[in-house]
Amino acid sequence: MNRNEKVKVDAGGDRWIRRLEIALDPPRLGENTADMDRLFRGIRKALGVRDLSAGLSLIRRIPRILRETKYRVEVLLCEEETGSWRLMDVGPSGRKKTLYGLAVDLGTSTVVVRLVDLESGEARDEVSFLNPQTEIGLDILTRIHYAGRVGGLNRLQDLVVTTLNKEISLLARKHTFAREEIACIVVAGNTTMSHLLLGLDPYWICREPYIPAVNSPPMLRAADVGIRLHPEARILVFPNVGSYFGGDLIAGILASGMTENEELSILVDVGTNAEIAIGTKDWIVACAGAAGPALEGGVADMGMMAGPGAIDSVRIHASGEIAVRTIQNKPPVGICGSGLIDLIAQLYLTGMIDVRGRFVPEKCGARLRETDDGMQSLLIVPSNASGSGQDLVLSQTDIDGLLRSKAAMYTILTTVTRLINVSMEDFRSFYISGTFGSYIDPRSAIAIGMVPDLPLERYKPLGNTSLAGAMEVLLSRNAREEIQTIRSTITYIELNVNQEFMNLFSAARFIPHTDRSLFPSVKG
Amino acid sequence: MNRNEKVKVDAGGDRWIRRLEIALDPPRLGENTADMDRLFRGIRKALGVRDLSAGLSLIRRIPRILRETKYRVEVLLCEEETGSWRLMDVGPSGRKKTLYGLAVDLGTSTVVVRLVDLESGEARDEVSFLNPQTEIGLDILTRIHYAGRVGGLNRLQDLVVTTLNKEISLLARKHTFAREEIACIVVAGNTTMSHLLLGLDPYWICREPYIPAVNSPPMLRAADVGIRLHPEARILVFPNVGSYFGGDLIAGILASGMTENEELSILVDVGTNAEIAIGTKDWIVACAGAAGPALEGGVADMGMMAGPGAIDSVRIHASGEIAVRTIQNKPPVGICGSGLIDLIAQLYLTGMIDVRGRFVPEKCGARLRETDDGMQSLLIVPSNASGSGQDLVLSQTDIDGLLRSKAAMYTILTTVTRLINVSMEDFRSFYISGTFGSYIDPRSAIAIGMVPDLPLERYKPLGNTSLAGAMEVLLSRNAREEIQTIRSTITYIELNVNQEFMNLFSAARFIPHTDRSLFPSVKG
């Protein structure tokens, strides 16, 4: 009876949000299939699927729409689970509007929202903004404690949802579309940020034995979380492996492509925590350990987060001149993590600091100062060249902080590779994720002994892999399945900070290391 | 890791609403599966299923519940589609409360609600009440037209939902339980009543080519329809075959068991419409045709719906005395359909009316009266014996009305059996559904030629099959699947009221028929 129904299938075979044009045979005496069932039959034929559902409010609208459009409609569909499709909308065909989705990196500090054309798969815009929960507390623990207060969890959720809604409104206005044209939002964030977005109590995340409320959040309606998009728009929040290995890292593993590699590779997310995944297409081992805030430029006197005027690259010329590059070429006001790694590496390579990270007065010359309490510091940018009107100086404390952080990173790498019996030399790819990570010069990171002395071409900065992974999932059913596979494949290792760890840590505090043979390329 | 998790499986293997007690291993370091995922793992193991989901508000409550109950919980589950389960609730185990469901016959005139213990499968109570939409209009068409007015559909839906809620409240109070302990409601009704309950526009049901909005309504949350039960309670509304063959009849086919019969059987729902299904376990043919309101006792001067004081059975003794039985043995105030069939049959068998249904004066004697306009009528109950203080009389018009109705019924049976090339004699079972149908004396129905002259034991009055079918589905996953199978198996035949039909109809207006050989058992 329906052999003449024509269906135009779009090209997005791997998409899980799809828009199809469907032309149905109008009903007649002797072929009296009901409106919804007629439409479902057409969609099933177009998609080759059996499992299809719709909500009551949409079903109520179908009879009128079918007659108004003379049975030629455009349907919006979401594959909620493999093979199980949800009818999200029905309207007149040929509207030719863009169908949007959002990929979100929900960071503890920074939230990045990317606007994506779900059909072409292209990014249309991107905005980043401070996670408004920072007004409650900069770090995760403060927010978990705040969530335990009366109304605290609601307030934390409301903060992030309200700001997301506002930023989405601005994007929609800028690109002159209605927020209802956004059909989906995919969010990658650490386990606590994901819980706070969903309004899930994070109480047990930071308490032994460290149990999240959810590992694999179900796909929900964005409206259930308070995010205002298409009324049937879906929200997918990345799964996590546990309290300390979140969806942001699963997104990173996905974006790196390391699970497709035959050869061994490693993904490192450099930050306050060093989060590490090592593996091949057959296995993944992950761990996380405290690396300290120095790597993020958050501790040194002149340290700052990456931003305009932050020194992000340093070269010391033979003349002793310290040449700095700043973000947006603004007059320097501080130094960010990558700049600090560069600076320490250059100081060591020019002999201005020794293997212990101590200033060498005869090399530092007049730049070296000593304060009343006997603390030495080195003038990097004089006040007349700085953007703040203050001298920018590097103190011994700053150096010690960075060396502790880099030692922690290298010790974690050493410990986990020993545990799983692989050699760091076997890493064919060393992926560095995180916006911060993309600015690190691997030569400098090797020079200070933060990362192993591998050929430079193996170092692959990936930028914001949390966002990249979210976008992949937004556009691909296979990627969406892959993150579940990754989640269940990962073996998470708890690092014991025992005596052996502390011994390794002590050795790694030197530049580049007490065992120079590990860093043959570094000429001190 | 979870090999010690103990699970107590209940006995309700065929139930699709189930309550299970589950004891989970508490989490520990090294086994840090999240709360929801841990619970899901336990349930999956208990049910042996993979596909399990839960809503956000329930997920938010899981961490606290697991800890408060020390990981021994009772879960309430609904199998939304085969193999796909929904977690409806989690609470402390061992509460030992009854878990209720509702089976509803949503009639155009009368609504019947049966309270069912979902675990034992036993009916606990039953209430019936007037469909409050009768205040808008007694018949379906009036309501469809009313639904087209501004706010009309909402009002019709609100009427039935409000009354259902009120009646459910009364049931809950009477049996001292909370309405939140009702987990499910299954509703069988004709296509229009089902649409009005769901708030679906019935506009096209009564307009060529007679297209319902929905054939197979999805399972919904009862709350989506406005019915207040457990917050996650489901509502299942029976599917329909089309505008004129609704869920009530599919429920009837299910309840009759005719789809399990090797031999031919027929199900007849006797009412204003004669709705018929004929088939075996391999096929079903269905049709519906107007039989007229006389069969329901709604037309004759003394006709009434079944109720206290309605004559439902009549015998005429050799002495000429007319003995009547009334519902609840109240003084007679009118006659209902089954009483009218009995009365006409007795009048014919005693010779008081002839084969054309005309009064035979010499047999009727003093009971026969003639009004001024020449209309003859027969005194059945004199005023001094009636409950109304009025004579109860049967007019020639009343007889003609019933004979038209019985002729329509027999003609429909003749037409459809000819169309599908079976003989009425081959019906091994002749199921009569409907409360009204259960009161019909098959001997009388045969005597007037309304139904074929089969051995009496083949006639099987089934009572309210709409309610019985709803209850079967409420309690059985197989029954729930079966109604979809029935729906898709049915071949619906439109009866053409053509010249041949009219010829057959004319022949069938005689008592029992012009062709006496069709009714050998009837001695006129």
- Assess A50–B contact: CB distance below 8 Å, yes or no: no
Is A102 exposed, middle or buried, given 0-12, 13-18 or 19+ CB atoms closer than 10 A?
Answer: buried
How close B74 gets to chain A, by Cα (Å)?
18
Residue B422 confidence class, pLDDT cut points 50, 70, 90? very high
- Assess A51–B contact: CB distance below 8 Å, yes or no: yes
Give DSSP secondary structure letters for B231-295. TT-EEEE---SBTTB-HHHHHHHHHHTGGG-SS-EEEEE-SSEEEEEEE-SS-EEEEEEE--GGG
- Assess B356–A contact: CB distance below 8 Å, yes or no: no
Alpha-carbon distance values, B517 to A433, A482, B512 (Å): 93, 75, 10
3-state SS, one letter per residue, for B43-97: HHHHHCCCEEEECHHHHHHHHHHHHHCCCEEEEEEEEEECCEEEEEEEEECCCCC
What integer pLDDT is reported at residue B294 of this predicted model?
63
pLDDT digits (tens, 9 = 90+) for A437-487: 778 899 999 999 999 999 999 999 999 999 999 999 999 999 999 999 999
* Nearest Cβ partner for A56 among B59, B81, B198: B198
CB contacts of B37 in chain A (<8 Å) are 214-216
Measured from the Cβ of residue A423, the count of other Cβ atoms closer than 10 Å reads 10
Whole-angstrom Cα distance, residue B379 to residue B381? Answer: 6
What integer pLDDT is reported at residue A12 of this predicted model?
58
How close B203 gets to chain A, by Cα (Å)?
9
Is residue A115 within 8 A of residue A100, CB to CB? The reply is: yes
pLDDT digits (tens, 9 = 90+) for A397-407: 999 999 999 99
Residue A297 confidence class, pLDDT cut points 50, 70, 90? low
Whole-angstrom Cα distance, residue B95 to residue B97? Answer: 6
Is residue A464 within 8 A of residue A477, CB to CB? The reply is: no
∠ CA B258-B295-B138, nearest 5°, is 100
Least confident of A177-181, B22-26, B48-52: B48-52
Q: Which residues pair with A90 in a beta bridge?
A: A75
Maximum separation of any 2 CA atoms in chain A, in Å: 101
∠ CA A162-A87-A38, nearest 5°, is 155
DSSP state of A137: -
| B29, two tokens | 């370091």
Q: Is the pLDDT of residue B11 over 60?
A: no
Mapped onto helix, strand or coil, the DSSP state of residue A168 is helix
Whole-angstrom Cα distance, residue B513 to residue B448? Answer: 8
pTM: 0.91
Torsion of CA A263, A269, A270, A271, to 10 degrees: -160
How close B404 gets to chain A, by Cα (Å)?
28
From the list A114, A74, A129, A68, the residue with the least C-alpha distance to A96 is A74
Backbone angles phi, psi at B416, to 5 degrees: -70, -35
Q: Is the pLDDT of residue A107 over 90?
A: yes
Q: What is the mean pLDDT of chain B?
A: 92
pLDDT digits (tens, 9 = 90+) for B326-352: 999 999 999 988 899 999 999 999 999
- Assess B493–A contact: CB distance below 8 Å, yes or no: no
How close A192 gets to chain B, by Cα (Å)?
13
How close B519 gets to chain A, by Cα (Å)?
35
> CB–CB of B37 and A214 under 8 A?
yes
Residue B7 confidence class, pLDDT cut points 50, 70, 90? very low
Strand order in the sheet with B392-395: B368-370, B376-381, B392-395
What integer pLDDT is reported at residue A294 of this predicted model?
64
Strand order in the sheet with B310-316: B322-326, B310-316, B334-335
Whole-angstrom Cα distance, residue B433 to residue B197? Answer: 23
What integer pLDDT is reported at residue A373 of this predicted model?
84
The radius of gyration computed from the CA coordinates of chain B, to the nearest angstrom, equals 27
Q: Is the pLDDT of residue B307 over 90?
A: no
> CB–CB of B199 and A36 under 8 A?
no
Q: Is the pLDDT of residue A6 over 70?
A: no
Q: Write down the ipTM of this complex.
A: 0.90
> CB–CB of B208 and A29 under 8 A?
yes
> What residue ranges define each of the domains in chain A, with the CATH number in brackets?
6-92 (3.10.20.880), 100-237 (3.30.420.480), 252-293+402-518 (3.30.420), 307-390 (no CATH)
Residue that wins the pLDDT comparison between B291 and B266 = B266
What integer pLDDT is reported at residue A89 of this predicted model?
97
Report the percent of chain B where pLDDT is more than 70: 96
> CB–CB of A59 and B203 under 8 A?
no
Strand order in the sheet with A459-463: A459-463, A429-433, A265-269, A273-279, A284-290, A490-492
Q: Is the pLDDT of residue B304 over 90?
A: no
Q: Is the pLDDT of residue B47 over 50?
A: yes
Q: Is the pLDDT of residue A105 over 80?
A: yes
What integer pLDDT is reported at residue B6 of this predicted model?
38
Residue A259 confidence class, pLDDT cut points 50, 70, 90? very high
Nearest CA in chain A to B205: A34
> CB–CB of B214 and A59 under 8 A?
yes
Residue B12 confidence class, pLDDT cut points 50, 70, 90? low
Whole-angstrom Cα distance, residue B112 to residue B126? Answer: 7
> CB–CB of B201 and A59 under 8 A?
no
Residue with tokens 């309430």: B76
How close A243 gets to chain B, by Cα (Å)?
9
Q: Is the pLDDT of residue B382 over 60?
A: yes
* Nearest Cβ partner for B213 among A31, A36, A220: A36
How large is the average pLDDT for residues A107-125?
Answer: 96
- Assess B32–A contact: CB distance below 8 Å, yes or no: yes
Q: Report CA torsion sign: B355, B356, B357, B363.
A: negative
CB contacts of A225 in chain B (<8 Å) are 56
- Assess B59–A contact: CB distance below 8 Å, yes or no: yes
Whole-angstrom Cα distance, residue A413 to residue A415? Answer: 6
> CB–CB of A214 and B28 under 8 A?
no
How large is the average pLDDT for residues A114-132?
Answer: 96
How large is the average pLDDT for residues A184-200?
Answer: 98
Whole-angstrom Cα distance, residue B132 to residue B151? Answer: 16
Q: Is the pLDDT of residue A207 over 90?
A: yes
- Assess A374–B contact: CB distance below 8 Å, yes or no: no
pLDDT digits (tens, 9 = 90+) for B88-132: 999 999 877 899 999 999 999 999 999 999 999 999 999 999 999
> CB–CB of A35 and B212 under 8 A?
yes
Q: Is the pLDDT of residue A1 over 80?
A: no
- Assess A293–B contact: CB distance below 8 Å, yes or no: no
Whole-angstrom Cα distance, residue A292 to residue A294? Answer: 6
